[in-house]
A and B are shown apart, each in its own frame.
Chain A
Amino acid sequence: MESTLDIFVKAIFSENMIFAYFLGMCSYLAVSKTVKTAVGLGAAVIFVLVVTVPVNYLLENYLLKAGALEWMGAEYANIDLSFLSFIMFIAVVASIVQLVEMLVEKFAPALYGALGIFLPLIAVNCSILGGALFMQDRQYSTLFDATAFSLGSGIGWFIAIVAIAAIREKIRYSNVPPALRGLGITFIITGLMGMAFMSFMGIKYGKDKKEDKAATGMIDKAAPAVKTAKAITIKNEIND
């Protein structure tokens, strides 16, 4: 298993939501005209990610995953509710976004005005749902790891949108060819920024955690089985 620090830093840089997966592009492109609104939206995304991913982690591990309901009793052990995960995750995200919206409106009306329609749209920001689904896919071993991942993803998204907002402010008076003005040049800048962010790809920050003994045992047992299966297919091919 990767160390927690590794998960965190990877989520910021080499597995950046924007530059590696192009998630949450709509608000990234639309709200990055000035640094101020970009900072606001970036902070909102960090907050929503940090709250929703751990909640979804608990849902995933104690409700949805195959065998997750075992804590209710042995008769529930082979129930698999993972087909519900999309709708559950999105429901959690939507309700928490409502909460954030109310808080922002109450405490930062100016920011609320500046963010406009994009604040409610965080609910359908792909990076938020993406965070939950990556968490499910990568099967983080502890709630702490999942939280570190969500915080890292949020910070990565924040850095991306703030950096591009500053660049867009800088190139506002550049003589860009007319056909590329606006979104076109923004996409190209995003690509170039992605190239710069690739510098962190492949770095390991902490020592790997020791594998669970049981897990290693399972792998050892599985390996010969795979080998035999392969041998059989090869044999069949030769026979054919």
Chain B
Amino acid sequence: MKFLEKQLHKMEPNFVKGGKWEKWNPLFETIATFAFTPKLVTEKGAHIRDGVDLKRTMIMVVLALVPCLIFGIYNTGHWGMVAEAGTRDLAYWSDMGPKFLLGLTYVLPIIVVSYGVGLAVEFLFGMLRGHSLHEGYLVSGMLIPLCMPADVPLWMVAVATVFAVVIGKEIFGGTGMNILNIALTARAFLFFAYPTSMSGDKVWMAGTEKSVDGFSGSTVLGDLATFMGDKAVVAGQEVVGTTQAGLEAITNNYSLIDSFVGMIPGSIGETSTLACLIGAAILLITGVGSLRIMASFFAGGLMMGLILNLAGGNAYLELPAIYHLVIGGFAFGAIFMATDPVTASQTQGGKIWYGLFGGMIAILIRVLNPAYPEGVFLAILFMNVMAPIIDHYVVQMNIKRRLSRLKTA
């Protein structure tokens, strides 16, 4: 460590203004501040003495994502083998080594592309606009792979990353200025631009394209969405009969505990609610994530689920509300996406409304919109758009309340 520090100090004069490699200053600064806490102090604005800076905060989130990542790799491997075998009857917890390796071959390239392309774009902007590399991409670069289907072509990941970083963030002035969550912008961009690669029953299990004819790689959400149409299909089998039969088919294929642990097909990092909750604990203990948003998001989802239960009519509407919280990307979105401190509501009261509406709209879109089986990422994007206006009114209400107190005194 001492050696590295010395080397960095020796090289520093070359990179400062007037030095030989002045142009490459952003790169140098990034590496230097990433390795060691910089001596720089804030020149203007509020002064807070704290060892934690933005880079350390962001690393905390990446650490919280590690359980999701590890489980996601294993899960991808398992469903990859299922797709190869053409049957869903494979035991989940056997052949762990090969499964993990198989998952790695699918997930690792996506992560490499996401970080490589994203950091290259960031670096380009840093050089052009003369600022150091922004820390925000540490988290976005991990979130983007985790919300992609395992089979997504790598060039799509690259295109979406460029779009999200340039249009979603850099033109607003970089980290901390964006209005929409970067990872979700990438996800939504792909969803609307290349819908066939982001939905349907061919993309969720790695290698389904090559598997035997008639094998369905559908997710629980995709199956549930068929109940809203004319013909209900669960895991490739047509379901006829009453609502009860439909519910049984769903619970037989995707039991509550399986969905909670994450033993279901889906995007790479989103399937395991358990892993997400471990991440949530890390975020809450370190004070990085907001409990208000997480709790109200779950509460909103539960409420909407119960309201739809009351309406009833088919297996999807009568699905127990608790199910909605463990399937699809609900937990992942609520814990890692909705709590993004930049795009979420900033005020304490606003956070509760933000989460509540986010959860409700997520389930509403998921159930009622036949075109979009997953509604969580769209709901969070929608709430990102609405967050400033929520904040505005929370602040106005506060001003009004305090003014009235002033008058009575």
- Chains A and B belong together in one complex: yes
- Interface residue B370 (Cβ < 8 Å from any Cβ of A): yes
In B146-167, which residues have CB < 8 Å from any A CB?
167
Contacts of B382 in A (CB 8 A): 196-197, 199
Quick check: A198 and B192 within 8 Å, CB to CB? yes
B378's partner among A170, A185, A188, A199 (CB-CB below 8 A) is A199
Quick check: B171 and A176 within 8 Å, CB to CB? yes
A166-B391, A202-B371, A203-B369 known; A195+B171 contact, CB < 8 A? no
Quick check: A200 and B365 within 8 Å, CB to CB? yes
A189's nearest neighbour on chain B, judged by CB, is B179
Contacts of A174 in B (CB 8 A): 172-173, 177
- Interface residue B118 (Cβ < 8 Å from any Cβ of A): no
Interface residues on A, range: 20 to 34
- Interface residue B185 (Cβ < 8 Å from any Cβ of A): yes
- Interface residue B103 (Cβ < 8 Å from any Cβ of A): no
B370's nearest neighbour on chain A, judged by CB, is A202
A162-B389, A169-B392 known; A185+B384 contact, CB < 8 A? no
Complex-state Cα separation, A174 to B175, whole angstroms:
10
Quick check: A198 and B378 within 8 Å, CB to CB? yes
Quick check: A163 and B388 within 8 Å, CB to CB? yes
- Interface residue A201 (Cβ < 8 Å from any Cβ of B): yes
Quick check: B372 and A202 within 8 Å, CB to CB? yes
Quick check: A196 and B180 within 8 Å, CB to CB? yes
- Interface residue A25 (Cβ < 8 Å from any Cβ of B): no
Chain B binding site: helix, strand, loop or mixed by DSSP? helix
A166-B391, A170-B179 known; A199+B172 contact, CB < 8 A? no
Interface centre among B172, B361, B391 (most CB of A within 10 A): B172
Complex-state Cα separation, A210 to B375, whole angstroms:
30
Contacts of B388 in A (CB 8 A): 163, 166-167, 169-170
A163-B388, A167-B179, A192-B179 known; A175+B192 contact, CB < 8 A? no
- Interface residue B295 (Cβ < 8 Å from any Cβ of A): no
Closest 3 CB pairs of A and B: A199-B378, A175-B173, A166-B388
In the assembled complex, 10 residue pairs joining A and B whose CB atoms fall closer than 8 Å, in A order, are: A167-B385, A167-B388, A174-B173, A195-B188, A196-B378, A196-B381, A196-B384, A201-B369, A202-B370, A202-B372
